[in-house]
Amino acid sequence: MSHSVITVENLSKRYIIGHQRSKDDGFRHVIEDAIRAPFKWLRSSQERKKRQKEEFLALQGVSFQVKQGDVLGIIGRNGAGKSTLLKILSRITEPTTGKISIDGRVASLLEVGTGFHPELTGRENIFLNGAILGMSRVEIKMKFDEIVAFSEVEKFLDTPVKRYSSGMYVRLAFAVAAHLEPEILIIDEVLAVGDTQFQAKCLGKMGEVARGGRTVLFVSHNMAAVKQLCSRLIFLQNGKLHLDADTPSVIDEYLHGITYDQGTWVRKQAIPSKDGVFFKALAVVDSKGRETGVLSSTDKFSVDINFVATAVILDAQIAIRFTNQDGIVAFTTSSTDYKRGFTVIQIGAHHFTVAFDATFFPSGKYHLQFAAHVSGKVLFDLVDLSLTIEETGTLRTVCRDDRLGVVNPVFEWREE
């Protein structure tokens, strides 16, 4: 049970960036260096120091252990070193210092459809991709029907994949990967593909893999997926291991690391001179008319939006997205909900107000993202705010907190 299958000790990875000249180490430079070499001592020591400084530690002194059957999530912001860690674990690149010992067969999925060839048919690509991921031909043959069924592309098996829609392509690619059966599986963000339905299917399949007793390392930005799959999380920050603990506490730390203005926001810079719709001031106002960032869970509140349109823009809309502390989008509301009048925003200053009822929200911290945009086309302005809904303790709301779900709507119950 407590058998460690992966032990990472003091792992570091250094990349040399810039290197005083372009990253592309041209052949000319090698020749140049060879000619210059005898004169190297002429260069001042300061310059030499500068050259040494141009290195980048993608990982520094990371240590952790993974036990048999663990599903470990690795989270962190962009550039925190997650991908580097996975690349080292999957032996794609070498560490600079440190040691890793792994017990068991490893398969890593840093991308779906690695090695897919556009000219080959779906059938051919299943075999090729399977081999690339480390499956034997016999193994692929055995699972072939299963893979095809999972991918839902039976009809197009003998069509070159370059004619596939991107959805089909991704489904086929994931299907192959999903049928890998290593003892240790390393996965990077593969869920960020396909439509929602297929994502759910992938997530389910990964759950199955994990339940089969296999050890899984999973890197993702998707807090919902991480929360569903992983029992333990590692939080990387600037190449260092920031936190290694159970899932809820790491997610909490991860999401609270980001701080937004509480409740109110006022534009500090001038309104841009280009055509568009731009926010001037935003505020959350409670039922007593006070601007606040903390609300009682039984209160009613409104959101005031002051903005300026510098041009008449067809179909422009203002939207607010509520994301809860688990990183899950609770809902989005938009000015298009108010049908008459807001579809064309005239030039000048405007003031919208949206009314909410706090009982609708489970208590906790929310991230409100305000967007002024034309759906799917242009994003004019984006502002983040945070809002806390505090439990104020009526029986109704206490009960509500034990329910699963991201919102707490109240529907009518009757006995008849």
Partner 1 sequence: MVALRDCRHGFQAGFGGSLIWPNSEGYLHKMSRLIIEAGRSEREYWRDLWRYRELFYFLAWRDLLVRYKQTFVGVAWSLIRPLLTVLVLTVVFGRFGKMPSGGSPYPLLALCGMLPWQFFSSALSESGSSLVSNSNLISKVYFPRLVIPASSVITSFVDFLITALFLVIMLIWYRVLPPPHVVLFPVFVLLAFAASFGAGLWIAALMVKYRDFRFIVPFIVQFGLYISPVGYESNVVPSRFRLVYSLNPMVGVIDGFRWCVLGGEHVIYWPGMAVSFAAVTAMVASGIWYFRKTERTFADVI
171-200: which residues touch partner 1 (CB under 8 A)? 183
- For residue 141, state whether it binds partner 1 (rule: CB under 8 A): no
- For residue 163, state whether it binds partner 1 (rule: CB under 8 A): no
- For residue 158, state whether it binds partner 1 (rule: CB under 8 A): no
Identify which of residues 187 and 387 has a Cβ nearer to partner 1 in the complex. 187
- Looking at 165-315, which runs of residues are DSSP E strands? 184-188, 215-219, 232-237, 240-246, 261-262, 264-266, 277-286, 294-296, 300-309, 313-314
Which region among 48-56, 100-108, 304-312, 361-369 touches partner 1 (by CB under 8 A)?
100-108
- For residue 93, state whether it binds partner 1 (rule: CB under 8 A): yes
Of 74, 85, 109, 102, nearest to 232 by C-alpha is 74
Integer Cα distance of 347 and 312 in angstroms: 6
- For residue 152, state whether it binds partner 1 (rule: CB under 8 A): no
Integer Cα distance of 369 and 382 in angstroms: 7
The encoded tokens of residue 301 equal 């509140």
Which region among 38-46, 97-105, 298-306, 324-332 touches partner 1 (by CB under 8 A)?
97-105
Of 296, 369, 295, 363, nearest to 334 by C-alpha is 369
- Out of 4, 63, 65, 96, the residue judged to bind partner 1 by CB under 8 A: 96
Of 104, 116, 129, 142, nearest to 3 by C-alpha is 104
- Out of 102, 191, 233, 250, the residue judged to bind partner 1 by CB under 8 A: 102
Residue keyed to tokens 């807090």: 223
- Out of 59, 66, 71, 303, the residue judged to bind partner 1 by CB under 8 A: 71
Identify which of residues 96 and 302 has a Cβ nearer to partner 1 in the complex. 96
Integer Cα distance of 234 and 148 in angstroms: 35
Query: What single string gives the DSSP state of each residue in 359-388?
Result: GGSPSEEEEEEEEEEETTTEEEEEEEEEEE
- For residue 310, state whether it binds partner 1 (rule: CB under 8 A): no
- For residue 119, state whether it binds partner 1 (rule: CB under 8 A): yes
Q: Is 79 left (phi over 0), alpha (psi -120 to 50) or beta?
A: left
Q: Binding-site residue total for partner 1 (CB under 8 A)?
A: 73
- The distance of closest approach from Cβ of residue 349 to partner 1 in the complex, given in angstroms and rounded to an integer, is 45
Q: Which residues pair with 305 in a beta bridge?
A: 282, 352
Scanning residues 190 to 249, which ones bind partner 1 (CB under 8 A)?
207, 210-214, 228-229, 231
- For residue 94, state whether it binds partner 1 (rule: CB under 8 A): yes
Scanning residues 38 to 67, which ones bind partner 1 (CB under 8 A)?
67
Scanning residues 286 to 305, which ones bind partner 1 (CB under 8 A)?
none
Scanning residues 340 to 399, which ones bind partner 1 (CB under 8 A)?
396, 398-399
Q: How many residues does the chain have?
A: 416
Which region among 124-132, 252-260, 272-280, 323-331 touches partner 1 (by CB under 8 A)?
124-132
- Out of 61, 63, 77, 124, the residue judged to bind partner 1 by CB under 8 A: 124
DSSP state of 271: P
Which region among 112-120, 255-263, 318-326, 350-358 touches partner 1 (by CB under 8 A)?
112-120
Radius of gyration of the chain (CA): 27
- Cα–Cα distance list, 360 to 240, 405, 407, 411 (Å): 39, 11, 6, 11
The encoded tokens of residue 309 equal 């349109």
- For residue 30, state whether it binds partner 1 (rule: CB under 8 A): yes
- Yes or no: say if 372 and 321 are a contact pair by the CB < 8 Å rule: no
DSSP state of 117: -
- Yes or no: say if 69 and 230 are a contact pair by the CB < 8 Å rule: no
- For residue 15, state whether it binds partner 1 (rule: CB under 8 A): yes
- Out of 101, 332, 353, 394, the residue judged to bind partner 1 by CB under 8 A: 101
- Out of 3, 40, 155, 288, the residue judged to bind partner 1 by CB under 8 A: 3
- The distance of closest approach from Cβ of residue 336 to partner 1 in the complex, given in angstroms and rounded to an integer, is 31
Identify which of residues 58 and 303 has a Cβ nearer to partner 1 in the complex. 58
- Out of 22, 28, 45, 411, the residue judged to bind partner 1 by CB under 8 A: 28
- Out of 90, 317, 359, 408, the residue judged to bind partner 1 by CB under 8 A: 90
Identify which of residues 13 and 367 has a Cβ nearer to partner 1 in the complex. 13
Side chain identity, residue 406:
V
- Yes or no: say if 308 and 278 are a contact pair by the CB < 8 Å rule: yes
